[in-house]
Amino acid sequence: MSFEFPDLPYDFSALEQSIDAQTMEIHYDRHHRAYHTNFMGAIKDTPLADQSLEQILAAAGTHAPAVRNNGGGFYNHIIYWNSMCNGGSAPSSDLASAIDAEFGSLDALQEKLTVAGMTRFGSGFAWLIKKDGKLVVTSTPNQDNPLMDCAEVQGAPLLGMDVWEHAYYLRYQNKRPDYIKAWWDVVDWAKVSERFTAS
Ligand code: MN
């Protein structure tokens, strides 16, 4: 993944049914951009500037907190934006088979991921990852992610659910369960399927 700050893959209002445009604009243009700016500042004129983002994250536990937190924040939001679309997306047949084999059904996976997001104390992300060829649900605190050496469970992120309050507070206030319930309506299973195939 490049160090370039990417465009949002849709309009701020594209996910309005679940996430309001103002939240999307602040989240992308202030929060995500700040992680990117601060990450670039933290690696500037250091040997890390010549590494890939994935390489840096894989050794996050050995880097300064500014690199771990902002590099994670930069990466995590790219996965988050690319985990959502304006509805109507389904898992590929390969991913659907893997989900059924591991969790029993798509509903059961969603329930497990919902619990992971609900029980992440404070701020963080819930994830569907591929670990040793198998699907696993996990969560990370703050801006950590499963690519990091310091993550409790490591693997390739397929789907990332942001449960920081900045992701939902304007419309949902303190009601994280309501945000997560609505979030499922805009999950882009086609993009998740692409990462499943590529990882
Ligand atoms: Mn966020």
Query: Is 13 within the bounds of a domain?
Result: no
Query: Is 156 within the bounds of a domain?
Result: yes
165 Cα: distance to centroid of ligand 1 (angstroms): 8
97 Cα: distance to centroid of ligand 1 (angstroms): 30
Pairwise CA distance, residues 8 & 96, whole Å:
27
Q: Find the CATH number of the domain harbouring 37.
A: 3.55.40.20
Query: Is 1 within the bounds of a domain?
Result: no
196 Cα: distance to centroid of ligand 1 (angstroms): 23
Expressed as residue numbers, the domain containing 62 is: 20-199
171 Cα: distance to centroid of ligand 1 (angstroms): 15
pTM score of the predicted model: 0.97
Which three-class secondary structure state does DSSP give residue 125? strand
pLDDT for res 199: 94
Of 79, 81, 73, which Cα lies nearest the Cα of 56? 73
Query: Is 12 within the bounds of a domain?
Result: no
Query: Is 3 within the bounds of a domain?
Result: no
Ion ligand 1: residue ranges with CB closer than 5 A: 162, 164
pLDDT for res 2: 85
Query: Is 121 within the bounds of a domain?
Result: yes
pLDDT for res 73: 98
pLDDT for res 1: 80
Number of domains in the chain: 1
23 Cα: distance to centroid of ligand 1 (angstroms): 10
| Amino acid at position 104, single letter | G
Query: Is 58 within the bounds of a domain?
Result: yes
Average pLDDT for runs of 10 along the chain of length 199: 94 98 98 98 97 98 98 98 92 98 98 98 98 97 98 98 98 98 98 97
